[in-house]
Structure 1
Amino acid sequence: MTTTRPADIDWTPTPPPPPRRKLFGDRIGSVEVLAVLLILLVLFRGPLGDAISDPRLQTWTTVFVSVMVQAVPFLVFGVALSAVIAVYVPRSFWAKALPKHPALAVPVASCAGVVLPGCECGAVPIAGSLIRRGVTPSAALAFLLAAPAINPIVLTATAVAFPNNPEMVVGRGVASLIVAMIMGWLWLRLGRAEWIKLPHRPDLDGMSKGRAFWAAVRHDVVHAGGFLVLGAMAAATINVVVPERWLQTVADNAVLSVLALAALAVLLSICSEADAFVAASLSQFSLTSRLVFLVVGPMVDLKLISMQAGVFGRRFALRFAPTTFAVAILVGVGVGAVLL
């Protein structure tokens, strides 16, 4: 049986309609966003000018910019070093450099922070890269805590800030090293692999070394840098909201002064290269409470918690940060009672 097509039907395929031209192309890029922002600034320049003249906003802006200026160079350094580890350092290197037993790898990784000048912002992406390269998480986390506090730059800055109290340098180095090792061993004992959820990084194996390096840098800057901005904004807000007179009230109480400076270290989020000068200016507080400030700050602060949540996941940060905070206070008080 055969079928015939009606003669009055045109079976010629209809060509697709021409693509509609979009105003801004296929997508809105950074140039368009910048143009919109500039137009908004011109339209609302009056209200914005009045708002900027507010002393509280000026304080907020100053603190935010200072945190970013302190942190960004070391973040870039840490991200670059993280990319070097991911691209140029073979996995077999870490098997040779660290002891095979995880419990012994923790103190070795903690002491490795002595030879790496940097701050906590750079240590976070480096620790994430170490875990990706097969380093046991307990050793990588011990390095994460120790490196910002015991490297030569930080210890030298502490000596300059406390010229009449050289024991502060020893106390800071010893206490920070002890906290890092304790947290590494605690993770080895109690930590779970599912608590760490590293963000997906593009596959670098099929790329050239140069392209893989820049791909890793761009990836880590987006993840760590975004959370750094959030942490800096939170620290600036706390600086404006918390009244300064509260510090004067608790300085005379031994227990409250320790807890107050520990909380202040978390809220201020000062880079480890600069926090010693802030601690030295808090002369109304005891040396022990100021030592706790120096031990807690490089390990637990708002920007660090935000960055750890971005690099390792929120489940990790919600467990790791409070535990580190408690251990740092206890160790700082113990070391201060012995050395100060």
Structure 2
Amino acid sequence: MTETQERQTIADAPAGERRNRGISSVEALAAVLVLLVIFRGRLSGLVSGERLQTWTTVFVSVLVQAVPFLVFGVLLSAVIAVFVPRSFWAKALPRHPALAVPAASVAGVVLPGCECGAVPIAGSLIRRGVTPAAALAFLLAAPAINPIVLTATAVAFPGNPEMVVARGLASLVVAVLMGWLWLRLGKTDWIRLPHRPDLDGSRGRAFWAACRHDVVHAGGFLVLGAAAAATINVIVPEAWLQTLASHPALSVLALAVLAVLLSICSEADAFVAASLSQFSLTSRLVFLVVGPMVDLKLISMQAGVFGRGFALRFAPATFAVAVLAAVVAGVVLL
């Protein structure tokens, strides 16, 4: 099968194959909302609890951080899907997939967005004929190396400018390595983009149809991811972090896992990392590299846009490569 045929296979994957796998994010969200309405009287008396207040605060903060960038990503994704011709990407990126991967990774520098916006954009790029490896490299690089994130990192670590360099280089290396790894080991049927007949009409109608689809589809998984992150914040005792910080190897693993669980937007995670002063700079660098690439809300959104099979393979591999790259960068640069 040629590369062009592989791309078409990905784009034309029937939505029914995914619907048959279980309850969709929209159905799950609707069920939760119905239950909240039915039991609102009983639940209102529980809101005064300290743990529930913490859960609500974290849940809302994750959504407030993520939604603007999700909307930005959805709008840009719709523009790419409807108005940008396929011939543009053939000219903008190198023809050889191995060269297109680093080119797409560097392109992430010019996009001031977070991981929530990068997911629908990457899906739209694949639909427009971009090789999946390059689109996935862009997905990982854009939230981590754009100017807003790097500037925020510099502000959060005023006495350690090397953190900015280490974060940018490590994140770029992870994006390129994962793109090349996909070229080597990735399979076409691991990505299941839903069929989009709504993109076949007039441009204006197709644009708004694409926006509605991505907001509902990706937004539902974002809500589920935010709820999971809030639950983890309430469950994990703070004392555990203090104990882990005293062990170099465990501190790296602890902050890597914490980055996945907290699901903080990449524009804000540097300030959280700076506040974890009991941990070493290297372990905090791991937190900054892993977070924008692998977290609960991002895994949920990847499952919604690309399919669960993709997320189950891509997320663990990205996690491992991100931890390794961040540790190496920390040892060399910090």
Do Structure 1 and Structure 2 share a fold, with TM-score over 0.5?
Answer: yes
Q: 1:39 to 1:81 in 2, by over 3 A?
A: closer
What count of residue pairs does the alignment treat as equivalent? 302
Amino acid at match of 2:61: S
What CA deviation, in whole Å up to 9, does each residue of 1:261-316 have, x standing for no partner? Answer: 00000000000000000000000000000000000000000000000000000000
Structure number with greater Rg is: 1
Bigger relative CO (Cα 8 Å, ≥ 6 apart): 2
Indicate which of 274, 286, 292 corresponds to 2:286: 292
Other-structure match for 1:133: 128
Other-structure match for 2:250: 256
What CA deviation, in whole Å up to 9, does each residue of 1:28-82 have, x standing for no partner? Answer: xxxxx9xx999857xx53x333211111110000000000000000000000000
Other-structure match for 1:236: 230
Other-structure match for 1:198: 193
What is the alpha-carbon distance in structure 2 between the residues aligned to residue 320 and residue 160 of structure 1? 31
Other-structure match for 1:64: 59
Pairing 1:104–2:99 present: yes
Amino acid at match of 2:193: L
**Alignment RMSD (CA, Å):** 1.4
What is the alpha-carbon distance in structure 2 between the residues aligned to residue 49 and residue 96 of structure 1? 57
Pairing 1:147–2:170 present: no
What CA deviation, in whole Å up to 9, does each residue of 1:299-334 have, x standing for no partner? Answer: 000000000000000000000000000000000000
Pairing 1:161–2:156 present: yes
Other-structure match for 1:178: 173
Q: Structure 1 regions of 5+ residues with no counterpart?
A: 1-32
Q: 1:292 to 1:38 in 2, by over 3 A?
A: closer
Pairing 1:337–2:331 present: yes
What is the alpha-carbon distance in structure 1 between the residues aligned to residue 35 and residue 165 of structure 2? 50
8 Å CA contact 2:198, 2:209 repeated in 1: no
Indicate which of 274, 278, 281 corresponds to 2:275: 281
Other-structure match for 2:48: 53
What is the alpha-carbon distance in structure 2 between the residues aligned to residue 40 and residue 86 of structure 1? 40
Indicate which of 308, 317, 327 corresponds to 2:311: 317
| Residue 200 of structure 1: how far off its partner (Å) | 2.1
The 3-state SS of whatever aligns with 2:226 is: helix
Indicate which of 257, 262, 266 corresponds to 1:268: 262
- The percent identity for this pair of structures is 83
What is the alpha-carbon distance in structure 1 between the residues aligned to residue 153 and residue 209 of structure 2? 36
Q: Structure 2 regions of 5+ residues with no counterpart?
A: 1-30
TM-score normalised over the length of structure 1: 0.87
8 Å CA contact 1:202, 1:215 repeated in 2: no
TM-score normalised over the length of structure 2: 0.88
The 3-state SS of whatever aligns with 1:51 is: coil
Other-structure match for 1:209: 203
What is the alpha-carbon distance in structure 1 between the residues aligned to residue 37 and residue 276 of structure 2? 45
What is the alpha-carbon distance in structure 2 between the residues aligned to residue 39 and residue 151 of structure 1? 41
